[in-house]
Structure 1
Amino acid sequence: MSEASLSPLQIQAMAQGARDASRRLATTPSKVRSAVLLRLADLLERQAPALLVANAEDIRAAGDSLPAATLQRLHLDASKVAAMAQGVRAVATLPDPLHQVQLHRLLDDGLELTRVTCPLGVLCVVFEARPDALIQISALALKSGNAVLLKGGSEARHSNAALLALVRQALVEEGLPEPAVQGLPDREAVAALLQRPDLVDLVIPRGSRELVQSLQAATRIPVLGHADGVCHMYLDAAAATAMAVALVRDAKLQYPAACNAVETVLIHRWAAARLLPALVEDLVPRGVELRGCPACLALVPTLGKAMEADWDAEYGAPILALKVVADLDEALTHIRAHGSGHTEAIVTEDHAAAARFLAEVDAAGVFHNASTRFADGYRYGFGAEVGISTGRIHARGPVGLEGLLSYRYLLLGHGHCVEDYAGPSARPFKHLDFTTGS
Structure 2
Amino acid sequence: MSILPRRSAAAAALAVAIALPLAGTAGASPHDVPGTAGASTLTDTPEPERPEFYEPPAQIPSTPGTVIRTEPAPFLLDPLGLSSSVVTATRVMYSSTDADGVPIAVTGTVFVPRTDYVGASDRPLISYTAGTQGIADRCAPSRQMEELVEYEGLGIARTVGRGYAVAMTDYQGMGTPGTHTYMARAAQGHASLDMARAAQSLQGDDVDADNPVGLMGYSQGGGAAAAAAELASSYAPELDIRGSAIGAPPADLATVGANIDSGPYNAFALFALLGVAQAEHIDPAPYLNETGEEVAAAVEGDCVYDLFDHAFKDTGQYTESGERLTDLLAGDTFAAAVTEQRIGTLRPNAPVVINHAWGDEVIPFEVGKQLGSDWCDQRTRVTLNGGLTPTHVGGMVPHVEKSMYFFEKRFAGGDTANSCWRL
TM-score, structure 2 as length reference = 0.31
Higher alpha-carbon Rg: 1
TM-score, structure 1 as length reference = 0.30
Which of the pair is proportionally richer in strand?
1
Which of the pair is proportionally richer in helix?
1
